[in-house]
Structure 1
Amino acid sequence: MKHKKGELLLWEVIGIPFLILVGFTLEFAYKTLNQNFIIGLFSVVNNSIWENLKIGFFSIILFSLIENLSLKESADNFFTAKALEVIFMSILLSISYLLFKYNLINNLTININIIFAVICILSQMLSFRILTLNRNYPYLNLLSFLFLIICTLIFFAFTVNPPSNWLFEASKRLNNILKF
């Protein structure tokens, strides 16, 4: 079903503060809630690149559930838009994480919040652009839905049993600043 651009734009704009607030909440939820196992599946357990990707991923997934249910009928290319939004946000979060980890950007507290907010805005803009494409790609949409489910399962699995790899190692500098 074709939704009006105005309706889709409204949802993507609403998504910006939602992603920011949920992302900030997921950053500290595990530690704040006494290291609850279930909360740890969705939030940052240590300050590694991998764990920081969960902030964007699960913020998008949660908002997508609300958005998709509220649109009554799925928008064309909905899951494709959300899958590409996840990939785009993950790339930008990884780059910003590495810039902080290797001390290429100082004043961490202000910059992390601002950069995350900008990443949320850019990601929602990308999602809106894909949602308003004139062509519908049903097979790509199905593959994107499967991609999101597989990513969710991978996040859960690697939270419980992380591989021994630099992606899963916490940054000592960031842990000290953020008090992990």
Structure 2
Amino acid sequence: MKHKKSELLLWEVIGTPFLIVVGLTLEFAYKTLNQNFIIGLFSVVNNSIWENLKVGFFSIIIFSLIENLSLKGSADNFFTAKALEVIFMSILLTTSYLLFKYNLMNNIIINHNILFVAICILSQMLSFRILILNRNYAYLNLLSFLFLMICTLIFFAFTINPPSNWLFEASKRLNNILKF
């Protein structure tokens, strides 16, 4: 059964505040919940680029589980839409992180949380556009599902044992800018 555009739009609209609330919660959950190991797998452990990507990724994954169950797996290109949403959000989150890190946004009155809200809205819009495509890309959908599963495992693995690399190191300078 193919879903109507209005139903898919409703789900993506509902998903936007969900992503925002869950994402902002995941940003502070690890510290707030006494550095719980399980919570740390899904939330920001330190203020590195890699850890900040988890906020967007897991908020999308959690909502996608709910959305896919509600749509009963019948939305064409569902996993393709979600995989591209993850990639798009990751690019935007990384860009905004680096803009704050290198003080390129200090003169602009913008909070990183407001930027996160805008990124969530744009990401959901992209997801909707892919969901309403008239053509079904079954192989791409399968590859996208595998991509999301592999990304989940990589996030878990690198949270437990992060490589010694600038991508995984917290930025004290950024902490001062964002006042954490």
Tell me if TM exceeds 0.5. Answer: yes
- Give the Cα–Cα distance (whole angstroms) in 1 for the partners of residues 82 and 70 of structure 2: 15
- Percent identity reads 89
Counterpart in the other structure of 1:21: 21
* Aligned positions of 1:32-47 closer than 5 A: 32-47=32-47
What is the alpha-carbon root mean square deviation over aligned residues? Answer: 1.5
The alignment's TM-score, normalised by the length of structure 2, stands at 0.96
TM superposition shift of 1:178: 5.0
- Aligned pairs for 1:1-180 within 5 A: 1-106=1-106, 110-178=110-178
Secondary structure of 1:74's aligned partner: coil
1:133 CA displacement: 0.2
Provide TM-score, normalisation by structure 1: 0.96
> 5+ unaligned residues in a row in structure 1: which ranges?
none
What is the number of residues matched between the two proteins? 180
Q: Residue type matched to 1:41 in 2?
A: L
Q: Give the Cα separation in 2 of the matches to 1:40 and 1:100.
A: 24
Letter in 2 for 1:38: I
| Structure 1 runs, 4 residues or longer, greater than 3 Å off | 107-110, 176-180
Please say if residues 112 and 178 of structure 2, whose CA atoms lie closer than 8 Å, have aligned partners that are also in contact: no
CA deviations 1:43-70 (Å, max 9, x no partner) are: 0000000000000000000000000001
Q: More deviation in 65-74 or 169-178? A: 169-178
